[in-house]
Every structure is written in C-alpha cells, then in structure tokens.
C-alpha cells in the first residue's frame, strides 16, 4: 500500500505509485467519458460487470476460490456454508483462517481474533476507495455495498478503472465490478467443492495446494516494503515452531511475533 492521497483521481498518481508493476500496461476497455453509454446506471453496472474479464486478478481469484472450496469440503463444511461465507465475508484470507482454525479445533473466539487481525487492512482500503466515488449528493448508505465489496482485488481495480468512469456512474460501475467478481468466486467455490469430493486423492491434493500457492505469490507480489517481505518470510518460518506449543493460538502468536520483528527491522532501517 503506497501513500495514495485519499481523494486523488488522476491516473498519473496511480501509475507513478505502481510504475514498477505491469498493472498499468493493460489497456482499459471502456467507452470514452463523454460517451452516451454512460447515461444510464444500468449500463454502467453492466460495463463494471463485464470489466472482470479485463483483469488479471480474476484468474488469481478463480484459482484461490477453487482452493477455498476444496479446503472447505475437506474440512467438513457444507457447500451452502462455503458459498455464504464467500458472499458475507468476501475476503480470502479471513475465509481461509475461519476454515482452517475451526476445522483444526480452535474455539470461536480464537478464530474471531485471528480473523479480525487479518481484516484490519480493510479499514485503510475502504477509506481510500470511498473518496474515489463520493459526490456531494452521495449518502453514506449508498456506499455500504461498495465498502462490502472492497478487498485487495477491488481496491487495485478501482484505482485502475475509475479514472475512466464518469464520477456520477462510479458507484453503479463498482457494484457491477463487485458482482462480477462475486460470480467468479462462487463458481470457483462450487467447482473446487465438487472436485475435492469426486477427484482422486492426488488431484484433490493438487487442488488444495492452490490456496497456499496463490496466496504466497500474490502476497509476495504485493509486498513492496521491507516490513512486508520480512513479515511474510518470518511468518512462514515461525509458524512451525509455534505450532509445537499446540496452544490453539499458534497462528495468532506466531503472527504477532513475526510481524513485530518485521516492524522492528523496518524501524531499525528507518533510523539507520
């Protein structure tokens, strides 16, 4: 997360922040700002819905949610529960934490604490996405669904697409984009769930491996700062140690310790 000014709308700011990634080289397939296609909210919704085909993150999301579907199946959750968790939670890390911790016998409180720590990152994301589409007439309740859809994928795509969307059509556009991404993940959940139920053990294992692989590499790709990289590496290495304690809070303790060491490394370097 680079320090984007809250209300910055011009693509320059975003392209400067992400100049070292390839996101901004993909053309945005939207009609010009003055096109009559933007005259209706429904058209804007449809354009947002269709835009999921123009994002590389759709494929990553698809693979991740196939993995989540398979994980839920092998952790003995029902398909309806899995789909409902995707609709209501709408955050891959939180869903995986709920499924793996509850599946391995943690208490509800332990899961809730781990989930809420993983979800704090949503606070600054929502806070930086909302100003992109607010107008003086916008009521807060019109933005609730936008806040709900906000997660790392939508957060990145808003900064890429919204400069090409007229301001008064942006909420409809983002609703369409969010619904499109939701459709992708629900289909992926069902596919993963049924594959895990019906495939051979080897292929089932391959599907379950999708989740750690997709999460590791997408997190590594998003880790630009020293503290993020150190937290990722230390978190991977320290968990096996802390899991020996078998306290039920292993994930949380290793996360706080590894994250705090990583933050310390960032402080030491900042002072040097």
Partner 1 sequence: MSDFLGDWHALVVLLVAGVIPNQIWRMLGLWLGGGLDEGSELLIWVRAVATAILAGVIAQILVHPPGALASVPAFLRYGALAAGFVAFMLTRRSIFAGVIAGEIVLLAGTWWFG
Residues 6-45 that bind partner 1 (CB under 8 A): 6
Only one of the segments 8-16, 45-53, 184-192, 251-259 lies at the binding site for partner 1 (rule: CB under 8 A); that segment is 251-259
Q: In the complex with partner 1, which residue's Cβ is closer, 41 or 243?
A: 243
The set of long-range contacts for 20-27, using a CB threshold of 8 Å and a minimum separation of 24, is: 21/221, 23/56, 23/156, 23/160, 24/160, 26/54, 26/55, 26/56
Binding residue count for partner 1, defined by CB under 8 A: 114
Q: What is the x/- site pattern for partner 1, positions 63-102, by CB under 8 A? A: x------xx-xxxxxxxxx--xx--xx-x-xxxxxx-xxx
269 binds partner 1 (CB under 8 A): no
Residue from 39, 53, 123, 245 binding partner 1 (CB under 8 A): 123
177 binds partner 1 (CB under 8 A): no
Phi, psi of 3 (to 5 degrees): -75, 75
Only one of the segments 41-49, 136-144, 159-167, 175-183 lies at the binding site for partner 1 (rule: CB under 8 A); that segment is 136-144
130 binds partner 1 (CB under 8 A): yes
CA atoms within 13 A on the CB side of 38: 16
Q: In the complex with partner 1, which residue's Cβ is closer, 48 or 255?
A: 255
Residue from 33, 42, 183, 236 binding partner 1 (CB under 8 A): 236
CB atoms under 10 Å from CB of 131, counted, come to 13
Report d(CA 266, CA 121) in Å as an integer. 18
CB atoms under 10 Å from CB of 34, counted, come to 8
Under 8 Å between Cβ of 191 and 66: yes
Under 8 Å between Cβ of 89 and 65: no
Q: In the complex with partner 1, which residue's Cβ is closer, 188 or 251?
A: 251
118 binds partner 1 (CB under 8 A): yes
Residue from 10, 19, 201, 271 binding partner 1 (CB under 8 A): 201
Under 8 Å between Cβ of 262 and 234: yes
259 binds partner 1 (CB under 8 A): yes
Q: In the complex with partner 1, which residue's Cβ is closer, 47 or 63?
A: 63
227 binds partner 1 (CB under 8 A): yes
Torsion of CA 119, 122, 124, 130, to 10 degrees: -160
């Amino acid at each position: 997360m680079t320090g984007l000014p809250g209300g910055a709308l011009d693509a320059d700011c975003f392209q400067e922040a992400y100049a070292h990634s390839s996101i901004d080289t993909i053309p945005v397939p939207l009609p010009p700002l003055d096109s009559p296609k933007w005259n209706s909210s429904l058209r804007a919704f449809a354009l947002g819905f269709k835009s999921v085909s123009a994002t590389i993150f759709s494929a990553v999301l698809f693979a991740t949610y196939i993995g989540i579907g398979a994980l839920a199946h092998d952790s003995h959750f029902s398909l309806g529960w899995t789909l409902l968790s995707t609709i209501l939670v709408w955050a891959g890390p939180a869903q995986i934490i709920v499924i793996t911790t509850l599946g391995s016998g943690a208490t509800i409180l332990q899961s809730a604490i781990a989930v809420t720590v993983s979800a704090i990152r949503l606070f600054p994301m929502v806070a930086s996405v909302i100003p992109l589409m607010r107008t003086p007439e916008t009521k807060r309740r019109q933005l609730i669904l936008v806040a709900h859809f906000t997660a790392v994928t939508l957060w990145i795509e808003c900064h890429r697409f919204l400069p090409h969307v007229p301001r008064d059509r942006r909420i409809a556009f983002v609703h369409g984009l969010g619904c499109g991404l939701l459709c992708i993940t629900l289909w992926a959940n069902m596919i993963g769930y049924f594959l895990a139920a019906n495939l051979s053990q080897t292929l089932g294992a391959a599907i379950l491996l999708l989740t750690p692989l997709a999460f590791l590499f997408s997190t590594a790709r998003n880790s630009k700062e020293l503290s993020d990289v150190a937290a990722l590496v230390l978190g991977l290495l320290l968990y096996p140690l802390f899991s020996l304690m078998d306290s039920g809070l292993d994930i949380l303790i290793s996360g706080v310790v590894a994250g705090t060491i990583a933050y310390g490394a960032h402080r030491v370097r900042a002072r040097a």
